[in-house]
Chain A
Amino acid sequence: DAKTTQPPSMDCAEGRAANLPCNHSTISGNEYVYWYRQIHSQGPQYIIHGLKNNETNEMASLIITEDRKSSTLILPHATLRDTAVYYCIVRLYFDTGTASKLTFGTGTRLQVTL
């Protein structure tokens, strides 16, 4: 699986958009970009995933660059409850319907402040 690079930590003011970057410059054509987050003392939580198009759901938006070498997770209006470690993961998906394991890196620790 392609490796990802994320900043170790970021701050964001409550109510503002949090933009979390991820670099995956060695990503291949059938690798998806996943984002998970882990709030303190809880299990990781799925946020969103995408292949090459931008995606949006009730939690966040995912912007993938045209060359797919980087992406940004956007939390449009961050709240204190969004304080967590955010993991960007690249996952290989096969035509057979199987996929590689989810392998977590060190993530970005997002601190949302008043």
Chain B
Amino acid sequence: DAGVIQSPRHEVTEMGQEVTLRCKPISGHNSLFWYRQTMMRGLELLIYFNNNVPIDDSGMPEDRFSAKMPNASFSTLKIQPSEPRDSAVYFCASSLKAGALRGYTFGSGTRLTVV
């Protein structure tokens, strides 16, 4: 079990550029979650998918953020255009189903810095 795999681990980009974060969930898991962590706001759920379908995107900060899950083994979180306030660590997590008692397995995160 390779766990949840996120790429890249670190991303530095200039304000206004497009940024794409990637996530590969654990094989067999059918729920996927994107979180963002900052010192000021802690860990926030941005969006989650069940069976590749977005279920709740109420945490997505604004239209500059979009997430897709084209298949069961891949998801992307895109920010276009990026702004310095988007600097954070972005975590992806997966679970067998959104209601799985055990909860979620998290990836190692992508540290995004927008300058």
Of A9-17, A58-66, A74-82, A102-110, the segment with at least 4 beta carbons within 8 Å of chain B is: A102-110
Contact partners of B42 in chain A: CB under 8 A: 104-106
What number of A residues sit within 8 Å (CB to CB) of B? 23
Contact partners of B2 in chain A: CB under 8 A: none
Instruction: Compute how far the CA of A94 lies from the CA of B100 in the bound complex, rounded to whole angstroms.
Output: 11
Interface residues in B73-115 by Cβ distance below 8 A to A read: 91, 93, 97-109
Do B56 and A101 touch across chains, with their CB atoms under 8 A apart?
yes
Q: A43-B93, A106-B42 are in contact. Are A98 and B98 (CB under 8 A)?
A: yes
The total of interchain contacts (Cβ-Cβ below 8 angstroms) comes to 54
Contact partners of A102 in chain B: CB under 8 A: 33, 45, 103-104
Do A97 and B99 touch across chains, with their CB atoms under 8 A apart?
yes
Do B45 and A42 touch across chains, with their CB atoms under 8 A apart?
no
Distance of B45 from chain A, by nearest CB (Å): 5
Contact partners of A101 in chain B: CB under 8 A: 33, 45, 48, 56, 98
Do A45 and B106 touch across chains, with their CB atoms under 8 A apart?
yes
Instruction: Compute how far the CA of A93 lies from the CA of B97 in the bound complex, rounded to whole angstroms.
Output: 12
Do A103 and B45 touch across chains, with their CB atoms under 8 A apart?
yes
B12 is an interface residue with CB less than 8 A from chain A: no
Do B98 and A99 touch across chains, with their CB atoms under 8 A apart?
yes
